[in-house]
Amino acid sequence: MAVHVGSQLAGRYEITAPIATGGMGEVWQARDRTLGRIIAVKVLRSEYTGDSSFLIRFRNEARHTAALSHPNIASVYDYGETTQDGQRLAYLIMEFVEGKPLVTILAERGRLTAEQTLDVLGQAGDGLSAAHDAGMVHRDIKPGNLLVRPDGVVKLTDFGIAYARDAAPLTRTGMVVGTAQYLSPEQAQGHVVTAASDVYSLGVLGYECIAGVRPFDGESQVAIALAQINRPPPPMPADVPWQVRALIERALAKDPAARFPDGAAFAAAVRQVAAGGPVPAATAMTQVVGDDGTATTMLPATGPGTTVNPSTAPRTMPPLHGPPVDGDGASSWTGDEADPQDQRRTRLLWAAAALALVGLVAAGVFLVMSGNGEQDDSAAPGGAGSPSASASASTSASGAIAFDVADYVGDDADLVRAQLVGQGFTVQQEDATAEELEEAQIALAENAVVTADPARGPLAEGATITLAVAAQAYAPEDDEDVEQSSAPTPAAPAPDDGDEGEDGGRPTPPTTATVTATVTRSSPTNTNPPTSSAPPPAAPTTSTTPPAEAPTTTAVQEDALGSASTVGNQ
């Protein structure tokens, strides 16, 4: 890469030291010679500057973040594209944030106390409120995108895949973007995202902070996405105060209308709970940001509630600098506790509801896995009221289902397979021939869909579709004259300090990735997941060789005293 220590960008930004290297680029410490301040420079890798999809994402990160001014959002000061040493460069000039990403803190501590968790969630909600007020949905809230300064201030980063209602859409209907472990159910199904989608991701983050493990994990991105859609989260540890438990459970509701409608409402609820009060009743409206820029309003059932005005000033987090949580998770929570008799009655009711829900989910799983005995090859179609899996899939009165392989060319075959099975088709797979690859006339990643037989419908329910899949990455010979169907998958970035990846040593399979594909849609199954009396999750163990998350990581520079300088995501 053309950037190195001592080089300058735009005759103004002098590179002084490397911070980190990731899958999409590099982050450097630099000095703004005009203003005399330390900044961070995020440089897109040269191999991606020729790919329009990566450039658009990079430009969007600059434009979206620069449009926001909030103490809980890492600032972007400038953006530029230039040619240096014969290479085309695209770079962001960003706020230099001293601190650590939340994922690293969780790896070090295992889990946080209730007070620490609420402080993180409140500040993150404040930052999101500024984005939501500006008509943006972040779509990739996760511990790796939250930075915590030494004084406890939390900063949101990486608005690269944020959705703005006044911008041209970057993805077609049904495409999923985000990180599988933190996707909302509607994101996992390719539905329209809302501010409540970010609230769900905050709920997942809050669960991970206070339980020490993620609520949903699996062996593949598809398995994780299906869990987000269909499965209630496991019970939180028994030592979690009931108010905090109720707060996180509401944020994790499968139905967006049952959650807090946006970051401001969530932050207000966090502060009410932190003050010892109950979770506020649903009183606000959920705004759906449509592809056409219009807003559709869903009115949830209202009830009595207390309104708390959220503060826009950042809150500090002294508890994060104290000792780690004890093995039993004990904390100094002082919130009012519910009457034990009421708690027992409530838990019995939730347990009964949980048993009923498990039965329904099990029945649904049985239907999906039944048929010819192949889990991925056949399934009953979604029940009444289930939305179709993509805008192009529809069922006629005669039962025929519309299908066009053009909607799936270039997408990951495993995800397409899951989606088509969810629509009621039987799916087979074979390697694409050389002729089929040439006819595609686009660059294709390994395991990408090339074509299908039949190529289009309408098709009868249960019809067999044979997907032709690229056995390895393919690029047309005259690559300059054809359009690429999808961006290349960047390699997982190497941890900057040798022992921490994006997961920060979290005890989970190495499946975390930023998803950019289409998965099965099904109707939401639970609006407020119940808490059962099952034992809490075991405390996590910290791995010395954690898996890296691709393609977004947070850059961290540790000094000799153990502090870290962290800037954004690659």
C-alpha to C-alpha distance for 410 and 416, rounded to whole angstroms: 10
* Helix, strand counts (H, E) of the chain: 11, 21
**DSSP helix, strand, coil percent of the chain (3-state; round to 5):** 30, 20, 50
Q: φ and ψ at 254, to 5 degrees?
A: -65, -35
**Opening angle at CA 71, ends 67 and 76, nearest 5:** 40
Report the interhelical angle of 114-133 vs 263-274 (nearest 10°): 150
Peptide bond into 524 cis (omega under 30): no
Report the greatest alpha carbon distance in the chain.
73
Q: In this structure, are residues 283 and 261 in contact, taking their beta carbons and an 8 Å threshold?
A: no
Q: In this structure, are residues 511 and 219 in contact, taking their beta carbons and an 8 Å threshold?
A: yes
Closest C-alpha to 187, from 216, 157, 156: 216
Beta bridge partners of 288: 194, 296
Write out the H or E segment, with its range, that includes residue 15: strand 13-21
C-alpha to C-alpha distance for 312 and 263, rounded to whole angstroms: 12
The structure tokens 């975390």 sit at 512
Structure tokens that stand for 287 in this block = 């705004």
Structure tokens that stand for 557 in this block = 């520079």
Sequence-separated (6 or more) residues with CB below 8 Å from residue 64: 131, 136, 159, 162, 164
Peptide bond into 509 cis (omega under 30): no
Concatenating the DSSP letter of every residue in 183-208 gives --HHHHTT---BHHHHHHHHHHHHHH
Catalytic residue among 140, 255, 407, 496: 140
C-alpha to C-alpha distance for 278 and 175, rounded to whole angstroms: 37
Q: Where are the alpha helices (DSSP H) in 252-339?
A: 263-274
Q: What is the DSSP letter of 144?
A: G
- Count of alpha carbons within 13 Å of 25, Cβ hemisphere only? 27
Q: What is the DSSP letter of 118?
A: H
Is 503 noted as a catalytic residue in this protein?
A: no
Which residues does the annotation mark as catalytic? 140
